[in-house]
């Protein structure tokens, strides 16, 4: 439905609304006649406003099984996409879900796969996902188009101590500059802590516990450097939003020995 067709529909609703309660009224008073027209106009306005909204909620509720939150599609490989819809703002948040294969940071393949799925969705999938909701049959969604975003998400990993950790991202980046050879790379990890970012001792101990497992992954992938970034949830409560960041860096020298470099931190 294009904008011209939408205007025709709205015009039709106005005509229907004005025709409602159109039986002859033998009232000599102009005030009472105006009251009748006001009632008809109010009824027509209610149809114009509430009609598309009710149709939108019914249509969207049908697509999302009446919950506005559902396991929407399940691609190959066992991974899925979870959808969370705000029916008033037409904001659709999606993120990858999967059956876990490892809870150890020595094998973070689940998070790597999740990150890959979500990056592909950001690049290729949001537009087709939006059209998949068939908004062309939804006047409300024409006025307020669906917006699809890949929501920040994390996975829970377990440290050797038994502590559970919320990890937001693991990545590999190329290194350049003095002291690095062509092709050298760094493994990066970003996680959320329950400690204060001012508690340097607690954060160092926690990072050391992470490093015990993450080192295995870094050596298996041939990284020459690892960066463990600690973050706190933002003041607005947005998942993955960081108020500030503290990083612990470990470098491997030419003899294969890992050494911790001085701690760095910056406000974001």
Please give the helix or strand (H or E) that residue 191 lies within, else none.
Answer: strand 185-192
**Distance from C-alpha of 4 to C-alpha of 124, rounded to nearest angstrom:** 30
Q: What are phi and psi of 80, to 5 degrees?
A: -135, 175
Neighbours of 100 (CB within 10 A): 10
Length of the chain: 268
Total domains in the chain come to 3
Question: Is 94 in contact with 85 (CB distance < 8 Å)?
Answer: no
Same domain, 195 and 133: no
Are residues 73 and 119 located together in one domain of the fold?
Answer: yes
Same structural domain for residues 229 and 167?
Answer: yes
Asked if residue 171 and residue 133 are part of one domain, the reply reads no
247 and 205 share one domain:
yes
What CATH number is attached to the domain comprising 241?
A: 3.10.310
> CA 249: distance to chain centroid?
29
The answer on 135 and 98 residing in a single domain is yes
Measure Cα distances from 251 to 33, 217, 219 in Å. 86, 14, 11
Residues 164 and 263 in one domain: yes
Residues 186/226, Cβ–Cβ less than 8 Å: yes
Helix (H/G/I), strand (E/B), else coil: 242: strand
pLDDT at 216: 94
Identify the domain boundary among 63, 80, 96: 63
Are 86 and 170 contained in the same domain? no
| Same domain? 184 vs 209 | yes
Q: How far is it, in rounded angstroms, from Cα 144 to Cα 80?
A: 27
Q: Would you tell me the crossing angle of helices 3-19 and 30-63 to the nearest 10 degrees?
A: 130
Co-location of 198 and 244 in the same domain: yes
Cβ atoms within 10 A of the Cβ of 73, count?
Answer: 14
Radius of gyration from C-alpha coordinates of the chain: 28
Which of 132, 150, 168 is the last residue in one of the domains? 150
pTM exceeds cut of 0.75: no
Degrees to nearest 5, angle at CA 238 with 232 and 242: 30
Q: Which of 182, 205, 185 is nearest to 195 (CA)?
A: 205
- Rounded to a whole number of angstroms, the distance between the first and last alpha carbons of the chain is 44
**Co-location of 52 and 73 in the same domain:** no
Contact 217, 110 (CB under 8 A): no
- Determine the pLDDT at residue 1: 44
Which of 101, 125, 150 marks a domain boundary?
150
Nearest-angstrom CA–CA distance, 36 and 25: 9
pLDDT attached to residue 75: 52
Q: How far is CA 116 from CA 71, 77, 158, in A?
A: 19, 13, 22
In this structure, the answer to whether residues 180 and 76 fall within a common structural domain is no
Along the 268 residues of the chain, how does pLDDT read in single tens digits?
Answer: 444 445 555 555 555 555 544 445 444 544 555 566 667 777 777 777 777 787 777 777 776 666 665 545 555 455 677 778 888 888 888 888 888 889 999 999 999 888 888 888 887 767 766 666 666 667 777 777 888 888 778 899 998 888 899 998 888 888 887 777 777 899 999 999 888 888 989 999 999 999 989 999 999 999 999 999 998 866 544 445 555 678 899 998 888 889 998 765 543 3
Q: What residues make up the domain containing 54? A: 3-63
């Amino acid at each position: 439905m294009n904008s011209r067709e939408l205007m025709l529909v709205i015009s039709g609703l106005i005509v229907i609304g004005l025709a409602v309660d159109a039986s002859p009224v033998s009232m000599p008073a102009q005030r009472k006649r105006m009251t009748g027209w006001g009632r008809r106009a109010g009824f027509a306005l209610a149809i114009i406003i509430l009609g598309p909204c009710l149709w939108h909620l019914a249509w969207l509720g049908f697509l999302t099984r009446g919950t506005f939150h559902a396991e929407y599609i399940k691609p190959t490989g066992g991974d899925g996409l979870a959808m969370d819809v705000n029916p008033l703002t037409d904001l659709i948040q999606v993120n990858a879900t999967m059956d876990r294969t490892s809870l150890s940071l020595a094998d973070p393949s689940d998070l790597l796969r999740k990150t890959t799925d979500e990056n592909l969705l950001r690049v290729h999938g949001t537009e087709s996902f939006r059209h998949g909701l068939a908004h062309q049959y939804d006047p409300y969604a024409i006025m307020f188009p669906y917006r699809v975003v890949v929501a920040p998400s994390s996975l829970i990993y377990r440290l050797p101590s038994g502590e559970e950790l919320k990890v937001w991202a693991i990545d590999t980046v190329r290194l350049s500059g003095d002291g690095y050879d062509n092709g050298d790379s760094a493994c990066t990890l970003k996680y959320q802590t329950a400690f204060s970012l001012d508690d340097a001792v607690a954060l160092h101990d926690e990072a050391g516990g992470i490093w015990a497992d993450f080192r295995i992954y870094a050596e298996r992938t041939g990284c020459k450097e690892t960066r463990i970034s600690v973050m706190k949830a933002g003041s607005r409560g947005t998942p993955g939003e960081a108020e500030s960041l503290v990083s612990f860096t470990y470098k491997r020298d030419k003899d294969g020995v890992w050494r911790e470099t001085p701690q760095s931190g910056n406000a974001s």
